[in-house]
Structure 1
Amino acid sequence: MRFSVFLNARTMRPEDDRQLMKDLETHALRAGDLGFSAIFMPDHHFNGYMPVASDSFIFAAYLAAKMPQMHFGFSVVSVPLHHPVRLAERINILDHITEGKLLVGIGSGTTPEEMIGFGVNYKDAGAISDRNLELAEALWAKAMEDPAIEIDNGPHQGRVLQRIAPAPFTSGHARLMPVAMKETSAQRAATHGWPAFIPAFTPPRIGGTEPFVHVKKFFDIYRDKLTAAGHSDEVVASALDWTTHTYQCVHVAESDDQAREELEVILRAYQAAVEREAEFNARAESNAENTKTDRTPNALTEDWIGTWCLYGSPETVIEHLTPYKELGIGNVLCGTTTGPLTEERLRLGNQTLDLVSRKVMPALA
């Protein structure tokens, strides 16, 4: 079982943006030194969510130059917000910089406020995402002499006569990682021999205190499709090795009581940030084209904690993760900087890195 770090921190004020970027750099370097397998970043915009997430390709490239041994990933790229040419080009460049150690999570986005900032109606996000991925595949495959590729997909327009450059480092292109929540997404990952993100809930209900039930359901569907796709044993093993289950917030302390007490401090700050963002999302949902179909529970509810959090002493965390390892989950993605990144929050995140590295990894890795 691999362990990776999710750099999902936020700021509450513009004057904190630069310090957050420096702190995340230091945190990522620490994770590399402690033996974590990958650094993942989100792809989000506006709302004061995360300064580096507005172009996490740039931040990943910056870190990759400092950490040549590290894998890098995205959880996840909001595909409708990217012109397919720029998406394919950026993935190829980062594929070269990391020498193939790239995992590109793909999804259709989460909030109307992000969509309207890029001229996308929220209700069209899924269709635009699917078409963008089709166009990206065509662009990756296009040779100089092939017919032009016409792009007419919502706000994304264009006509590509030549090939894109650079060519991919990885054969075909870098690995994509669909969120295996829908039949089509699980099949896309399985057909290509890619890893997948395995969620712990079933929409429209985001939450629940039995996450393993959902993880097993989605993992079994994906694994069955992967093994039926006719790949070599090596391709199947590589895909499962990086198949990822994500925790929005991971917090480890010396005791369960300490971990829970510190977790609640983290989540109170996180919830305050979410509530501020909700005000802007409400403005974006002013018409039927941009209305969300699901609602995220308050982060301090047991539903949310049960789905999105992993916390406790090292022994408790090992006990919790053992069934996931036995199921076949290859990579645990740990949100170690969830919420506004204060000096105290960074200390707690570093505490988690140290305890996972010293006590959890040896038992499960």
Structure 2
Amino acid sequence: MKFSIALAMERFSPDKPMQQVVNETLELVRMADAGGFETVWSAEHHTIEFTIAPNPFQILTWWGAHTERIRLGTATVVAPYWNPLRLAGEAALCDHLTGGRLEFGIARGAYQYEFDRMAGGIPQQEGVAYMQELLPAVQKLWAGDYAHEGKYYKFPLATSVPKPLQQPSPPIWVAARDPGTFDWAVRNGYNILSTPLSRPMAEVGILADKFNKAVSDHSNVARPRFMMLRRSCVYARPEEWEVPVRASIDYGRAFENLFQNIGTVTNGFPKAVPYETVANRSEYDPQAIRDNLLFGTPDEVIEKLLVYEAAGVDQFCLGLAFNLPIEVQKKSLDLFTREVMPVFAARERDAAKQRARAIA
């Protein structure tokens, strides 16, 4: 199992200067690069201060200029916000500007609040249909001249300029939680991005079952990669749990505002909705958060990660962006790099030796 990190430039108060946010995020990216993480992922969001990412390709190009080897992924571009020609060209140019390090992740979108402002108010659930029309069109534009006449997009003969540096394309990832999206993505050979959100650890197995069923149903297609993201914080002593748990609860209440479209947003700052209005209220219990999310000492985190490894997850993604103080994020990333990643690197080496002996 490999490891990646999802980061966002986030502000929860107008008192925090934007330039400080910029500098702190880049420091974490450079730590992940030096620490041997496989990928750093950037989201796309609009008009929201706690995820400042109006164009992930711009962010990835910036990160790429300050790193050496880490791959740079969109997790994710939101399909209904894009025209295929623009998306194909911007992604391909980013691939060139980062030396062929782009990982192309796409999703239908999460927040109805954004859909009301960026996609003409269409229901968020309709985003999957946009994605399933948009992504094949982008791939055909990367290949050469192509004209398109579909339900959502129409354009005469054109092509992507430039073409991607990675041929025939950067690795493609699709965000999935429902069985239909798993099936569509695997059938088309796309890698999978998924998340158990804040749900119990059993959700890891549920998502893995959806992935494995799609792989089994399309045995003629090479098995794609399977990534899973979870909010994460590693701390040296067990009693340090309170800071990340409180941050997760507060972040979750702001997330509910946007996800359910039930709160107010003032000058880009979502107001945390009252606890009584949140969905899945049991997931806000402090003990449940400690148990379900990737929170704990290095030993506790290793035990949790073994569940993901056993479920067939190829890449685990640390979600550090949930209003953790920067020093807590840096300490967490450092502990994970020094005390967790080497354990799984050793397991991978041992597995490779066992495979070699079996072949011999």
Q: What range is the shorter-chain TM-score in?
A: 0.7 to 0.9
* Contact in 1 for aligned 2:44/2:56 (Cα 8 Å): yes
Q: What secondary structure does 2:160 align onto? A: coil
1:150 CA drift (Å): 4.1
CA distance in 1, matches of 2:47, 2:69: 32
Q: What secondary structure does 2:55 align onto? A: helix
CA distance in 1, matches of 2:292, 2:10: 17
Q: What secondary structure does 2:73 align onto? A: strand
Give TM-score scaled by structure 1 length: 0.80
What residue number does 2:337 align with? Answer: 357
1:58 CA drift (Å): 0.2
What residue number does 1:136 align with? Answer: 138
What residue number does 2:213 align with? Answer: 221
The answer to whether 1:270 aligns with 2:251 is: yes
CA distance in 2, matches of 1:19, 1:102: 26
CA distance in 2, matches of 1:131, 1:306: 40
Gaps of 5+ in 1: 285-294
CA distance in 2, matches of 1:189, 1:63: 28
Alignment of 1:11-50 (within 5 A): 11-14=11-14, 16-50=17-51
Q: Tell which deviates more after alignment, 12-21 or 318-327.
A: 12-21
CA distance in 2, matches of 1:84, 1:363: 42
1:125 CA drift (Å): 2.4
CA 1:130–1:46 in structure 2 vs 1: closer, same or farther (change >3 Å)?
same
1:127 to 103, 124, 129: 129
CA distance in 1, matches of 2:155, 2:235: 54
The answer to whether 1:67 aligns with 2:54 is: no
The answer to whether 1:162 aligns with 2:162 is: no
What residue number does 2:275 align with? Answer: none
Q: What secondary structure does 2:36 align onto? A: coil
CA 1:267–1:103 in structure 2 vs 1: closer, same or farther (change >3 Å)?
same
CA 1:197–1:272 in structure 2 vs 1: closer, same or farther (change >3 Å)?
closer
* Contact in 2 for aligned 1:44/1:50 (Cα 8 Å): yes
CA distance in 1, matches of 2:105, 2:68: 20
1:40 CA drift (Å): 0.6
* Contact in 2 for aligned 1:8/1:41 (Cα 8 Å): yes
* Contact in 2 for aligned 1:179/1:197 (Cα 8 Å): yes
Give TM-score scaled by structure 2 length: 0.81
1:241-300 Cα deviation digits (max 9, x unpaired)? xx21101x2111112332x2222232244246446657965579xxxxxxxxxx754663
The residue type paired with residue 191 of structure 2 is P
The residue type paired with residue 148 of structure 2 is I
CA distance in 1, matches of 2:336, 2:3: 9
Alignment of 1:162-181 (within 5 A): 162-181=158-177
* Contact in 1 for aligned 2:195/2:228 (Cα 8 Å): yes
* Contact in 2 for aligned 1:6/1:334 (Cα 8 Å): yes
Gaps of 5+ in 2: 266-277, 346-360
Alignment of 1:266-305 (within 5 A): 266-271=247-252, 273-274=254-255, 282=263, 296-297=279-280, 300-301=284-285, 305=289
* Contact in 1 for aligned 2:227/2:316 (Cα 8 Å): yes
CA 1:80–1:21 in structure 2 vs 1: closer, same or farther (change >3 Å)?
same
CA distance in 1, matches of 2:258, 2:144: 41
CA 1:222–1:349 in structure 2 vs 1: closer, same or farther (change >3 Å)?
farther
* Contact in 2 for aligned 1:3/1:333 (Cα 8 Å): yes
CA distance in 2, matches of 1:215, 1:152: 30
What residue number does 2:270 align with? Answer: none
1:48-100 Cα deviation digits (max 9, x unpaired)? 2322x111210101111221311111222211111211111111112223343
CA distance in 2, matches of 1:280, 1:107: 19
CA 1:306–1:199 in structure 2 vs 1: closer, same or farther (change >3 Å)?
farther
The residue type paired with residue 149 of structure 1 is H
* Contact in 1 for aligned 2:112/2:258 (Cα 8 Å): no
CA distance in 1, matches of 2:288, 2:82: 30
1:140-160 Cα deviation digits (max 9, x unpaired)? 3332xx5x434662xxx6524
* Contact in 1 for aligned 2:245/2:289 (Cα 8 Å): no
* Contact in 2 for aligned 1:209/1:302 (Cα 8 Å): no
* Contact in 1 for aligned 2:33/2:68 (Cα 8 Å): no
* Contact in 2 for aligned 1:211/1:307 (Cα 8 Å): no
Q: What secondary structure does 1:69 align onto? A: coil
What residue number does 1:89 align with? Answer: 89
What residue number does 1:319 align with? Answer: 303
1:128-151 Cα deviation digits (max 9, x unpaired)? 2322224323323332xx5x4346
The residue type paired with residue 310 of structure 1 is L
* Contact in 2 for aligned 1:9/1:338 (Cα 8 Å): no
The residue type paired with residue 220 of structure 2 is A
What residue number does 1:292 align with? Answer: none
CA 1:59–1:304 in structure 2 vs 1: closer, same or farther (change >3 Å)?
farther
1:198 to 176, 194, 198: 194
What residue number does 1:118 align with? Answer: 118
1:303 CA drift (Å): 9.2
CA distance in 2, matches of 1:180, 1:279: 19
1:119 CA drift (Å): 3.3
Between 1 and 2, higher relative CO (CA 8 Å, sep ≥ 6) is seen in 1
Q: What secondary structure does 1:10 align onto? A: coil
CA distance in 1, matches of 2:250, 2:341: 28
1:308 CA drift (Å): 6.5
The residue type paired with residue 45 of structure 1 is H
